[in-house]
């Protein structure tokens, strides 16, 4: 399966730690890259483009120093998430900074503009775009993206509603580049399952909230440990478009639980809230995916990657030994 050249020899596992609003910053991303998995953060986790540029400088300097001190180690490239939508007035300025600092991977959400692809390809970067259905995958393919993230049912954040078995095949029908699978993946064997299905990389968000390097506070992490898959409510009530939140957190914020709509067709066009309102909302109501039921601890990124590696290897050996 196709992987961009920058990823073929730099990964210890076929894994991207997904960007998360208010949760991921350089500390988490650097810890991931140093373990040989792609680390990322949304540009909007810095309040200004100036602050965002400081993060890019920090990422480039620290990773360059780490690579020269550890030439034998697998050190993965990092990714930045840009919300390409008119509710984000910063995206063009932030894109210019990504070009200036040659961010290796850009993850776009909402708009898959060919303008972004052209700008990122100009310095040798790659663009991954996240989608929840085949229609948006086709548009992203037409825009020339290098990778498509299949955000399946059960994911944290603005999740989709389509079963991963169906969604990956639907995307492969219209796209022959890199496919990443997201939605409830938590274990090493899930990474192998994603590959068996035809995805090239696994894309995990919620599992990384419960690492020491994330920006989530203790109450958020404890809620993840206590929550089960049935606690995840997929509703447009917080963002204007459907996203996944923990029931306990919606209740604590006073949402009328019996009136919350379950997800419908996602229409980003008119309904998404301006970014400042979104930040206020997501501070008090906590997003997570159905994978919460598989998360029982908080650990360091290096411990998590070691565990995932062991599970992944064991799952491969198990399959090989059964001759399957």
Ligand X SMILES: Cc1cc2nc3c(=O)[nH]c(=O)nc-3n(C[C@H](O)[C@H](O)[C@H](O)COP(=O)(O)O)c2cc1C
Residue ranges that bind ligand X, judged by CB under 6 A: 18-21, 23, 42, 81, 109, 130, 151, 155-157, 182-185, 203-206, 287-289, 291
Minimum gap (Å) between residue 38 Cβ and ligand X = 12
Q: Quick one: 48 or 70, whose CB is closer to ligand X?
A: 48
Minimum gap (Å) between residue 72 Cβ and ligand X = 30
Asked if 208 and 280 touch (Cβ cutoff 8 Å), the reply is no
Q: Quick one: 125 or 183, whose CB is closer to ligand X?
A: 183
Could you tell me which residues come within 8 angstroms of residue 225 by beta carbon, excluding any fewer than 6 positions away?
210, 295, 296, 297, 298
Minimum gap (Å) between residue 65 Cβ and ligand X = 27
Asked if 275 and 267 touch (Cβ cutoff 8 Å), the reply is no
Instruction: Return the closest-CA partner of residue 294 out of 224, 220, 212.
Output: 224
Residue 293 to residue 224: CA distance in whole angstroms: 8
Q: Quick one: 66 or 282, whose CB is closer to ligand X?
A: 282
Q: Quick one: 296 or 318, whose CB is closer to ligand X?
A: 296
Residue 41: strand, helix, or coil: strand
Minimum gap (Å) between residue 155 Cβ and ligand X = 3
Q: Quick one: 70 or 163, whose CB is closer to ligand X?
A: 163
Which position's Cβ is nearest ligand X?
A: 205
Contacts 24+ apart (CB under 8 A), 245-248: 245/285, 245/286, 245/287, 245/288, 246/286, 246/287, 246/288, 246/292, 248/223
Minimum gap (Å) between residue 70 Cβ and ligand X = 28
Asked if 102 and 125 touch (Cβ cutoff 8 Å), the reply is yes
């Amino acid at each position: 399966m196709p992987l961009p050249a920058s990823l073929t020899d730099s990964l210890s596992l076929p894994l991207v730690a997904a960007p998360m609003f208010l949760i991921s910053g350089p500390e988490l991303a650097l810890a991931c890259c140093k373990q040989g998995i792609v680390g990322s953060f949304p540009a909007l986790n810095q309040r200004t483009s100036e602050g965002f540029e400081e993060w890019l400088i920090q990422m480039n300097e620290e990773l360059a120093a780490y690579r020269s001190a550890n030439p034998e180690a697998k050190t993965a490239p990092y990714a930045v998430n840009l919300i390409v939508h008119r509710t984000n007035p910063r995206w063009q300025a932030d894109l210019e900074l990504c070009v200036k600092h040659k961010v290796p991977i850009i993850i776009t959400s909402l708009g898959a503009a060919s303008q972004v692809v052209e700008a990122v390809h100009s310095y040798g970067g790659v663009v991954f775009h996240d989608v929840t259905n085949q229609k948006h995958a086709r548009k992203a393919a037409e825009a020339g993206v290098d990778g498509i993230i299949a955000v399946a049912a059960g994911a944290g954040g603005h999740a989709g509603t389509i079963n991963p078995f169906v969604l990956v095949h639907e995307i492969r029908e219209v796209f022959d580049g890199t496919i990443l699978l997201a939605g409830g993946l938590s274990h090493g064997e899930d990474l192998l399952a994603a590959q068996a299905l035809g995805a090239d990389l696994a894309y995990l968000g919620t599992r990384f909230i419960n690492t020491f390097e994330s920006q989530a506070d203790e109450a958020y992490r404890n809620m993840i440990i206590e929550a089960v898959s049935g606690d995840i409510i997929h509703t447009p009530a917080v963002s204007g478009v459907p996203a996944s939140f923990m029931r306990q957190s919606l209740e604590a914020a006073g949402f009328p639980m019996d009136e919350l709509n379950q997800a419908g067709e996602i229409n980003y066009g008119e309904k998404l809230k301006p970014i400042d309102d979104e930040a206020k909302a997501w501070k008090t109501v906590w997003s997570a995916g159905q994978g919460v039921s598989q998360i029982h601890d908080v650990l360091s990124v290096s411990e998590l990657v070691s565990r995932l590696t062991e599970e992944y290897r064991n799952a491969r050996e198990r399959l090989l030994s059964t001759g399957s």
